[in-house]
Structure 1
Amino acid sequence: MPSSGPEDHVIKSEMTKAGPEYGLVKLTPTVVDILKEYGPGALAGTFPDKSPPRSIKFGIGDVVSVTIFEAAAGGLFIPAEAGVRPGNFVQIPNQNVDTAGNITVPYAGAVKAAGRTPSEIQQDIVKAIGNRAIEPQVVVALITQNTSLISVLGEVNTPARLQANAAGERVLDVISRAGGPKGQGWETWVTLERNGKRATVPFGALVYQPDNNVWVHPGDTIYVYREPQIFLAFGAAGQQGQFPFDMWKITMAQAMAKAGGLLDAQAEPAGVFVYRREPRELAERLGVDCSKYVGPLVPVVYNVDFRDPAGFFLATKFDMRDKDVLFAANAATYDTAKFLQFVRLIVATANDTIVSANNVQVLRINSKGL
């Protein structure tokens, strides 16, 4: 008989003709709790360091200024006739940190600057000229920041390489400095890359799950892009097709409502399924035998029983993922009704043929009588 998909008992038997094989997982409170540990909200897990970034350090190419103070005139930098000077200090011309990572200070020579903080450089300079200057004090400042930068790319209003803020900033702060996202928040995704590690979350996860709004470090790259999330609905639902989330996340209950709910005369309430590929680690925690699967992703089919009143509570806690397939199986009685309707069509067709033949016979008899 024609059908919109496999029958409920076929899916639950985990039988497949062409593959791939899949694992069936019945939705329970335990399963819902395990699933909440996974998913797109991964910035907090990939970058668990909750402390602000360390002090900004100089790098090759940064422009640095050095100011040297002495306690009295007649020292190394302040001449004895310093009465006309504006102060007891000397300003060394701004200079770039060279390719060797050094800056040059008169009477101190080359001073290591790359990878160091201003206070560390100041101490080295004071130590180098301390025997020749009068109680010297040094101030080292960053004039132009060329290395401690944060790149913000993609669907933001002002993509740029931004100077790292010494006070520290989080992901949302940096995106705000880049003009904010261009598109709607629910269709916007944010990728953070640092030292070869990468994680992606929906923009809403940064707003509604503060743990994902992690500290940004110098050298990080933030990529913002738009990708509307969708799910596909098939089977005995009110409507079939592709549906957008139109929000940063939705539950199975909301997805079922978007698809028009279950057809009262057709659907099997205990046969509502969500098809998805899950990481092997998660599938194993859900009780799926992963020995027969190859690769990092395992096909999993989740089943919820809407004949059980508690099934609706579980459906409101089960988050849909992008490209999930929602399938509602037909009830067995509906398939029986289709078969009976088919038999009735055949009987009616045969009966029509007999009636037509009888009518032709009657017409012949009548014509002979005439």
Structure 2
Amino acid sequence: MEAQASVKVSSPNKERRAGVDYALVDINKTVLGLLQSVKAADSFKGFGGGRGPAPNLPLGVGDIVQVSIFESQSGGLFVPSDAGSRPGNYVTLPNQTIGKDGAIMVPYAGRIPVAGRSVESVQNDIQKRLQNRAIEPQVIVSKVTTRSAQVAVLGDVNGATKIELNEGGDRILDLISQAGGLSTPGLETYVTLQRGNRTATILYDDLTKTPSENIFAQPGDTIIVNRERRTYLAFGASGTNGRFDFEDARLTLGEALGKAGGLLDARANPEQVLLYRRVNRELLARLGVDVRRFVDTEIPVIFRADMRDPATMFVAQQLPMQDKDIIFVTNADSIELLKFLDLVNSVTSTASGASSDVITTRDAIRKF
């Protein structure tokens, strides 16, 4: 069965109208398939680093390094020919912090630029500068502190901190774990990755269930963990009206109606259960709606479910709810008639004359 979609435009000129254009779409199997395929707009996969080896961690400003220089025999530039016992023919220079100019100082080799370079590259550079001075020099550069390769983990974790990345690679979940883990329910927690001028946010539950989203962190990243209470509203002829927490990672329309007390037998119209939601313009076009009359990217949509149809019951049990959805269960026509009769009765039971009754009833109906 194809999706049936109709568009209704409210008029801002009529009295007591909000003036918001919206689309009306009947829920069926086709609509269910499209709504189930909707994924979060943001993704960490666009940052790269999901597969393959861990990213290289070059030296950077603020890192503390240690340089050891070996010579093949004593009596050279760095290893004197003395009679004392030595652990080996090498000398270890004092630890150095890579300065703002991105360089360190090595005696007889001069100022060596190191920021942005690998350890192996720096070692080879120092060896070349010393090869005509020292005896077959060999150089080892070691990282003591990697301040330039740190990631900040903030927000709703048990221990917000800055973490030094290691050469083996640290993924997003690794860093959240090192920060003490979540201090909030995972199904209501979002993880935001800030890298340079780019930002992406995904649900923590999606991060744990989608390995490709658990990418390697890079130096300078900021990870923000934030709880956002996921709720929906239920109004009309449902058992209970108000705001409800999801309490589940995947809540469906059928389950949401159940949490709200279901449909009241004496009041509800099962053919008119409405779900209010803003939908992406592209998705709405795929549902068969003419979107040319709409201006915004996100368009207000009312999804209508006929709960008298057994097939719709199955669809409702699979239709995923979204944060801030609104469910409205309309009243049955008989209830509206009773309201009208009660209104008329309240008017005609007064002591005013018949002509006054007619005028008052007419005005009351218009308001109704």
Q: TM-score, normalised by structure 2?
A: 0.83
- Aligned letter for 1:27? I
Aligned residue number for residue 74 of structure 1: 75
Matched AA of 1:16: S
Describe the shift of the 1:271–1:55 C-alpha distance in structure 2 as closer, same or farther (beyond 3 A).
Answer: same
Tell me the distance in 2 between the aligned counterparts of 1:296 and 1:24: 17
Deviations 1:134-169 (A, max 9, x none): 332221111112111101111211111111122112
Q: Tell me whether 1:93 sits opposite 2:87 in the alignment.
A: no
Q: Is the 8 A contact 1:186 1:203 kept in 2?
A: yes
Decide whether aligned partners of structure 1 residues 138 and 237 sit closer, same or farther in structure 2, where only a CA change above 3 A counts.
same
SS in 2 for 1:215: coil
The answer as to whether partners of 1:41 and 1:202 remain within 8 angstroms in 2 is no
Q: Which residue of 1 aligns with 2:364?
A: none
Counterpart mapping for 1:263-274 below 5 A? 263-274=264-275
Match of 2:31 in 1: 31
Q: Could you tell me which residue of structure 2 aligns to residue 47 of structure 1?
A: 47
Letter in 1 for 2:105: T
For 1:214 and 1:205, how far apart are their aligned partners in 2? 13
Name the SS of the counterpart of 2:302 in structure 1. strand
Residues of 1 paired with 2:131 and 2:155: CA distance? 51
Distance in 1 of aligned mates of 2:48 and 2:76 = 52
Q: CA deviation at 1:340?
A: 4.5
- What is the identity, as a one-letter code, of the residue corresponding to 1:131? N
- The CA RMSD measured in Å over matched residues stands at 2.6
The aligned residue for residue 219 of structure 2 is: 218
Q: Deviations over 1:49-73 (max 9, x none)?
A: 4235411111111111111122222
Task: Look up the equivalent residue of 2:19 and give its one-letter code.
Answer: G
- Match of residue 367 from structure 1: none
- 2:7–2:22 contact (8 Å) kept in structure 1: no
For 2:20, the aligned partner's letter is P
**Paired letter, 2:119:** P
SS at match of 1:22: strand
Counterpart of 1:4? none
Q: CA 1:31/1:82 → structure 2, altered by over 3 Å: closer, same or farther?
A: farther
Deviations 1:315-369 (A, max 9, x none): 233221221111122233432344355556667x489x9xxxxxxxxxxxxxxxx
1:257 Cα deviation from its structure 2 partner: 0.7
1:16 aligns to 2:10 (yes or no): yes
- Per-residue CA deviation, residues 194-213 of structure 1 (Å, 9 max, x unaligned), is 12222222222222333333
* Contact 1:229-1:323 at 8 Å conserved across structures: yes
Q: Which moved more, 1:138-147 or 1:242-251?
A: 242-251
Three-state SS of the structure 2 residue aligned to 1:43 is: coil
Q: Write the mapping of 1:253-292 to structure 2, written as runs, cut at 5 A.
A: 253-292=254-293
Quote the offset at 1:82 in angstroms. Answer: 6.4
1:334 partnered with 2:345: no
Matched to 2:165, the amino acid is A
Alpha-carbon offset, residue 126 of structure 1: 1.8
Letter in 1 for 2:130: I
* 1:1-370 equivalences in 2 (<5 Å): 14-17=8-11, 18-40=18-40, 42-47=42-47, 49-51=49-51, 52-81=53-82, 84-340=85-341, 342=343, 349=349
Query: 75-84 or 158-167: which moved more?
Result: 75-84
What amino acid is aligned across from residue 195 of structure 2 in structure 1?
A: R
Shift of 1:96: 1.1
Q: Displaced runs of 4+ in structure 1, greater than 6 A?
A: 344-347
Instruction: State the distance in 1 between where 2:154 and 2:83 align.
Output: 53
CA–CA distance in structure 2, aligned partners of residues 306 and 140 of structure 1: 71
Distance in 2 between the 1:223 and 1:149 partners? Answer: 14
Structure showing greater radius of gyration is 1
Q: CA deviation at 1:43?
A: 2.7
SS of 2:313's equivalent? helix
* Cα distance in structure 2, aligned partners of 1:29 and 1:81: 89
Give the Å deviation of 1:226.
2.1
Mapped partners of 2:184, 2:40: distance in 1:
19
Cα distance in structure 2, aligned partners of 1:130 and 1:30: 74
Is the deviation greater in 273-282 or in 138-147? 273-282
User: Is there any run of 5+ residues in structure 2 with no aligned partner, and where?
Assistant: 12-17, 354-368
Deviates more, 1:266-275 or 1:317-326: 266-275
Q: 1:137 to 1:21 in 2, by over 3 A?
A: same
8 Å Cα contact 1:46-1:199 kept in structure 2: no
Task: Judge conservation of contact 2:45–2:212 (CA < 8 Å) in 1.
Answer: no
Change (3 A) 1:89 1:37: farther
Greater shift after overlay, 67-76 or 119-128? 67-76
**Amino acid corresponding to residue 96 of structure 2 in structure 1:** Q
Per the TM alignment, residue 192 of structure 1 is displaced from its structure 2 partner at its CA by: 1.4
Q: Distance in 2 between matches of 1:286 and 1:123?
A: 62
Contact kept? 2:9, 2:20, Cα under 8 Å: no
